[in-house]
Structure 1
Amino acid sequence: MEDDNISDTDRALGFTIPARHARGRIVRLGPVLDTILAAHAYPPAIEALLAEALTLAALIGSTLKDAGGQLTLQAQTDGGVVKLLVCDYKGGELRGYVDFDAERLAAGPEQPSLFALFGAGYLAITFDQAATRERYQGIVPLDGDTLAQAAQNYFVQSEQIPTLVKLGIARRADGSHVAGGLFLQHLPEGEEGRERLHTRLDHPEWEHVAILGGTMGIDELADPVLSLETLIWRLFNEEDEVRLLSEVAMTRGCRCSPEYIAQVLGKFPVEEQRAMAGDDGMITVDCAFCAQKFPVAVTNVVL
């Protein structure tokens, strides 16, 4: 029986099911999610969209084996209310923001569909490997009713890997948020997978795992009283073996600071720096991720 005082949030936990040639990741966000959302004061529909995207970024990003690697999730519109959605994950650090048309959002339904938000938009997922300096990007249409469905389409179309993604977002009575996510993949040649062209999308082992994963309720994913270990046990307790992998702690990770911004601005020629500065000799940089403004004197950035 669960202890009602337990709050299992802001971490991701991986696992494998060797006999089924499957791997998974489960994540739950709490205070970290509230910290990111509080910086923007978005309307409820945009707030829910960003919460879902941050959870998705945490799910996929925490599968990176390269500790210095980065995952960037970007959804861009084609005629929708949202102009741009960006989230990224690096070493357990999350950040994200949404650029949207406030007037069009207000004129639409209270709970707009994914198509209403993005129109014929697309989802791009980019993996940057720090160790090898390699970059891989896949782009798919924003098909489906949710970002979770769009992500599933990404892995089937771009990676040819059978994948299940489930996301659950809840707003609690005190106004705080809890978000949970489940990510399952079939790797027919063991935990490392096989060549994409030879992956079978209809393997019976995967059908079994996907059916079990589909029974996970959104309310369970977003319930901080239920530990991540408990959720994995509920799904797969009848399997011969489920191996838990190392967990990843989640934090808010905007990387902006006056020092970092001065370093970036210092890469521009002096003439361009002066052109960017106001009459007071200051260059003001807006960080979309944390919604802060950073004034930097030109004299502090010239190398």
Structure 2
Amino acid sequence: MTEPATLALDSVLGFTLPGRHARGRLARLGPALDQILAAHAYPPVLARLLAEALVLGALLGSLLKDEKGQLTLQAQTEGGAVDLLVVDYRGGEMRGYLRHDPERLAEMPADPSLFALFGKGYLAITFDQAATGERYQGIVPLEGGSLAAAAEHYFAQSEQIPSLVRVAVKQEADGRTRAGGLLIQHLPEGEEGRERLHTRLDHPEWQHVEALAQTISPAELTDPRLALDDLVWRLFHEEDEVRTLADMPLSRGCRCSPEHVRGVLARFPAEERAAMAEPDGTIRVDCEFCARSFPVQLDA
């Protein structure tokens, strides 16, 4: 079913509160999220989990100033129903995938905890700057009640930036999924920040912003009829100044294609390509993100 163009879906909006030394991002996913989830028949509880991870990917990835830079979220776990979750974001294009044990999931209650789903694990958040070739990665335990809580822990531990993260997911009766999220941060040195910002306890302006941001509801985050800039105004209309950036569209962006697959295979020595090939000379490469298989002839 096609969404009316007036609905506020598949976009991320940046904003700043200069007088409070804060910046934020609001994201909402709709059709692009449905396209990503449709590649695999995920049980509802796992569809919600991946939707939450994709919203986080949009919030964090949109912080990149390098348009060709990439943000990757990867959860690796042991002892839970989910043993791998990967989401990446590049220039507004997103993809995501999770792998799970159906038998272990079937033994769990209808609404399992984050620990039950992941067991012992960690969340790795990686920023790749294409322009400079720099890479920064932070790793935090998968603790708390949600991936949003783990992301807050990441900013507190790795970046030392006071942050608030809220994510909501709504699964409609017709099978569609809507998800939205808010990230807001305190940057005492301004929007650009520094390489390291040390958390202090004497920032009353942050406590004020945090209190306002905490009033946001799951319904507001997922309501496609509520424009993101209207939501910013609803939260912070009493502030002296609120600056919003241009909306950035979000889309499903799996980068697999026959040309890409051939390019990857060309990097392998001829003897390794021969070992990969089936008797008829075909190498089949599967993309877990979009559940497609690409047959490539060895002599192509």
Question: 1:219 corresponds to which residue?
Answer: 219
The one-letter amino acid of 1:124's match is A
User: How many residues are matched?
Assistant: 297
CA distance in 1, matches of 2:201, 2:295: 52
Alpha-carbon distance, 1:189 to partner? 1.5
Q: Give the structure 2 partner of residue 181 of structure 1.
A: 181
Deviates more, 1:111-120 or 1:125-134: 111-120
**Equivalent residue, structure 2, for 1:133:** 133
Deviation string 1:167-193 (CA, Å, 9 cap, x unpaired) is 011112321111000000000122222
Other-structure match for 1:145: 145
Moved over 6 A (4+): none
The structural deviation recorded for 1:195 is: 5.3
Mapped to 2, the partners of 1:86 and 1:66 lie a distance apart of: 21
Q: CA deviation at 1:6?
A: 3.5
Aligned partner of 2:276 in structure 1 is 276
For residue 64 of structure 2, give the secondary structure of its aligned residue in structure 1.
coil
Structure 2 residue aligned with 1:230: 230
State the AA in 2 paired with 1:38: A
Matches of 1:298 and 1:202, distance apart in 2: 64
Q: Deviations over 1:242-265 (max 9, x none)?
A: 000122100100000011001100
- Once residues 265 and 6 of structure 1 are traced to their aligned partners in structure 2, the CA distance between those partners, rounded to angstroms, is 43
Residue 193 of structure 1 is matched in structure 2 by: 193
Q: Which runs of 5+ in 1 are unaligned?
A: none
1:196 to partner: Cα distance: 2.4
Which whole-Å CA distance do the structure 1 matches of 2:60 and 2:130 have between them? 16
CA contact (8 A) 1:162 1:201 kept: no
Residue 294 in structure 1 maps to residue 290 in structure 2: no
Find the counterpart in structure 2 of residue 205 from structure 1.
Answer: 205
Q: Could you tell me which residue of structure 1 aligns to residue 90 of structure 2?
A: 90
Please list, as runs of the form range in 1=range in 2, the aligned pairs for 1:1-303 lying within 5 A after superposition.
6-194=6-194, 196=196, 198-300=198-300
SS at match of 1:121: strand
8 Å CA contact 1:5–1:225 kept in 2: the answer is no
Query: SS of 2:256's equivalent?
Result: coil
Contact 1:161 / 1:201 at 8 angstroms: preserved in 2?
A: no
Deviations 1:129-163 (A, max 9, x none): 00100000000101110000000000000000001
Report SS of the residue matched to 1:137. strand
State which drifts further: 95-104 or 167-176: 167-176
Supply the distance in 1 between the matched residues of 2:193 and 2:66 (Cα, whole angstroms).
Answer: 17
Residues 30-72 of structure 1 show CA distances to partners (whole Å, capped at 9, x for unaligned) of: 0000000011111111111100000100011011100000000
- In 2, the alpha carbon distance for the partners of 1:211 and 1:58 equals 23
CA distance in 2, matches of 1:182, 1:202: 24
Is the partner of 2:178 in helix, strand or coil?
Answer: strand
Structure 2: which amino acid aligns with 1:151?
A
CA contact (8 A) 2:74 2:123 kept: yes
Normalising by the residue count of structure 1, what TM-score does the alignment of the two structures yield? 0.96
**Paired residue type of 2:12:** A
Q: Which amino acid aligns with 1:130?
A: A
CA distance in 2, matches of 1:194, 1:88: 24
* Letter matched to residue 279 of structure 1: P
Structure 2 unaligned segments of length 5 or more: list them: none
DSSP 3-state at the match of 2:246 = strand
Q: CA RMSD in A?
A: 1.3
Is the 2:10–2:32 contact (alpha carbons within 8 Å) kept by the matching residues of 1?
A: yes
Structure 1: distance between partners of 2:295 and 2:136: 34
Offset of residue 279 of structure 1: 1.1
Distance in 2, Cα, partners of 1:10 & 1:197: 31
Shift of 1:197: 5.2
Q: How many Å separate the matches in 2 of 1:5 and 1:61?
A: 24
CA distance in 2, matches of 1:130, 1:150: 26
Cα drift, residue 201 of structure 1: 4.9
